[in-house]
Amino acid sequence: MSIFTNDIVIDGGTVTVDTITNAVTVTGTVTANVGSGTQPISGSVSVSNFPATQPISGSVSVSNFPATQPVSIAGTVNVLTAVAATATISQISLPNTTDTLLLASNANRKSAIIFIPKTGIFVKYGAGASATSFTYKTNATNSTIIVTGYTGQINGFGPSDTINVTEL
């Protein structure tokens, strides 16, 4: 490698810059023009004003970047499984604009499927479902809500309808 400047000539040598310590290591035949002559340079040269970042023009290709990255998680990860050997299926009559119990609390519930034929039904995790207190609101006919990870009471509110509830 040959680099020519007004002050330094590197011919057949190498220059290595440590961007963390800003140390420049020179190997090979290197001369520096000082006055009317040249002086040999070898070893390390400290460059204290070397910028921490360098501008790049053009494009940069990173070809050895892994397609997947490892992820570590601190703490405990809980996995919910909705595996059940039995299911209880109920049809609940929802009176017009009346808070109605769809599912009672059940600590053994794995999951539940709530099928609602009409729009505008409000479903709440807990008691007291209303048009202003709800968890879900159906905006289309034939809506299905799948409940996982919740074992408490579920109530409904809205226009008269028959709600199909399956509890696993």
What domains are there in the chain, each with its CATH number?
Answer: 2-46 (no CATH), 88-167 (2.60.120.10)
**Tens digit of pLDDT for each residue in 66-114?**
777 777 888 887 776 667 889 999 999 999 999 999 999 999 999 999 9
Q: What is the pLDDT of residue 35?
A: 53
- The more confident residue out of 76 and 1 is 76
Q: What is the pTM of this model?
A: 0.53
- Please give the full DSSP string across the chain, using - where no structure is assigned: -EEE-SSEEEEEEEEEEETTTTEEEEEEEEEEEETTEEEE--EEEE-TT--SS----S----TT--SS------S---------S--EEEEEEE-TT--EEEE---TT--EEEEEE-SSS-EEEEBS---SSS-SEE--SSSEEEEEES--S-EEEESSSEEEEEEE-
**Tens digit of pLDDT for each residue in 24-60?**
666 665 555 555 555 555 555 555 666 666 667 777 6
